[in-house]
Amino acid sequence: MKTLRQYIDKIKPHFEEGGKLSMFHSVYDGLETFLYVPNSTSKSGVHIHDSVDTKRVMSVVVMALMPALFFGMYNVGYQHYIAIGESNTDFWTIFLFGLLAVLPKIVVSYGVGLGIEFIVAQYNKHEIQEGFLVSGMLIPMIVPVDTPLWMIGVATAFAVIFAKEIFGGTGMNIFNVALITRAFLFFAYPGKMTGDSIFVRTDDTFGIGAGHIVNGYSGATPLGQIATASPETFTGIKDTMGHTISTWDYFIGLIPGSIGETSTLAILMGAAILIITGVASWKIMTSVFAGGFAIGLIFNAFGTSVALATPALDHLLLGGFAFGAVFMATDPVTGARTETGKYIYGFLIGVVSMLVRVVNPGYPEGMMLAILLLNVFAPLIDFYVVESNVKKRVKRWNSKNA
């Protein structure tokens, strides 16, 4: 009985130059290198030669996303069953409903994004880039769960083509592809990006979960409530049934919101994986939280509106702040690369996201715009950090040789 490795080696000649399937060489190469680490090294240029390639790094990031993804699936089902008045439904039924609601979005994201990358790779006769392994998972996790599949497909295609391939592919893009997808949706279809809707089915399309929304139901997210609340009438953030929710609830994440962004606990589990494996920078993560918390304390001291008065800690737990700090700001391609620059870059993301969230009532989130803005300034931050180091060394050299 032949092993998978033997079978792949057997069909390889068909995909090489002169073979009957040579036009699909990039597809074969992508599959082979996804399953096995290549046994060849670069022949020219400056490279690091080891067993860790980009695909393996991307795989670690996808693994780190799993806690937030699985929790998000459960929360989708949880919010649905609360909305139809069946909060005592068993765990696996709730999770299955969420799985069936979220899975099509993942399929569309990967299908559209990888499809475009396969076509581009074949046209240019290049190997398939692996960066979309992460972007394809991030996209469905940062959009509201009721976003139509066709919108996700259109936005993904736009982002892959105009924010990635047009710049040269993986490693050349200046903006985070997943965030460009969300930005496209936000500006093209703003009514679908409020996050104020919960995926509620009143039929039996899935075979489970059919029901009708109960009286008193509200799908407003915590940040949506904060943005529209009046200080005179505000009595606290409420869940979908009007019950007051606490900081602990924000941390656990059984609240309305985008699929992967509600549970700070699950996000921190992913952060631990990224830090332990050395895949993501803890300096950026911690500085994002530090910047957001610092400006939040200032707002608390001087603010009079509900958004300004919301505790700084709560702001860090709500919306996409934690998810952005862990999985978006740490993107090694679009973020700062100097060690000092990482602190500055992360701190400014935290500050800007809070400014957008609190000062602009029309957009109660902020993390998406903050990261995209700092993506632009990341090279400038690195430039001045390097220039500062050069000046210090020149000054030190001059003082020693004076």
Residue 292: the pLDDT is 96
Residue 206: the pLDDT is 64
Average pLDDT over residues 331-347: 94
Say whether pLDDT at 267 is over 50: yes
Residue 218: the pLDDT is 65
Average pLDDT over residues 76-89: 86
Residue 348: the pLDDT is 97
Q: Of the ranges 70-84, 116-130, 147-161, 279-293, which one carries the lowest mean pLDDT score? A: 116-130
Say whether pLDDT at 256 is over 50: yes
Proportion of the chain above pLDDT 90, given as a percent = 46
Residue 30: the pLDDT is 64
Residue 59: the pLDDT is 85
Average pLDDT over residues 293-317: 90
SS (H, E, C) the chain: CCCHHHHHHHHHHHHCCCCCCHHHHHHHHHHHHHHCCCCCCCCCCCCCCCCCCHHHHHHHHHHHHHHHHHHHHHHHHHHHHHHCCCCCCCHHHHHHHHHHHHHHHHHHHHHHHHHHHHHHHHHHCCCCCCCHHHHHHHHHHCCCCCCCHHHHHHHHHHHHHHHCHHHCCCCCCCCCHHHHHHHHHHHHCHHHCCCCCCCCCCCCCCCCCCCCCCCCCCCCCHHHHHHHCCCCCCCCCECCCCCECCHHHHHHCCCCCCCCCCCHHHHHHHHHHHHHHCCCCHHHHHHHHHHHHHHHHHHHHHCCCHHHHCCHHHHHHCCCHHHHHHHHCCCCCCCCCCHHHHHHHHHHHHHHHHHHHHHCCCCCCCHHHHHHHHHHHHHHHHHHHHHHHHHHHHHHHHHHCC
At 170-181, the pLDDT tens digits run 778 889 999 999
More confident residue, 89 or 347: 347
At 126-163, the pLDDT tens digits run 666 666 889 999 999 998 888 899 999 999 999 999 98
At 28-79, the pLDDT tens digits run 666 666 666 666 655 544 444 455 567 678 889 999 999 999 999 999 999 8
Residue 45: the pLDDT is 46
Residue 289: the pLDDT is 97
At 194-222, the pLDDT tens digits run 655 566 666 666 667 777 777 656 667 88
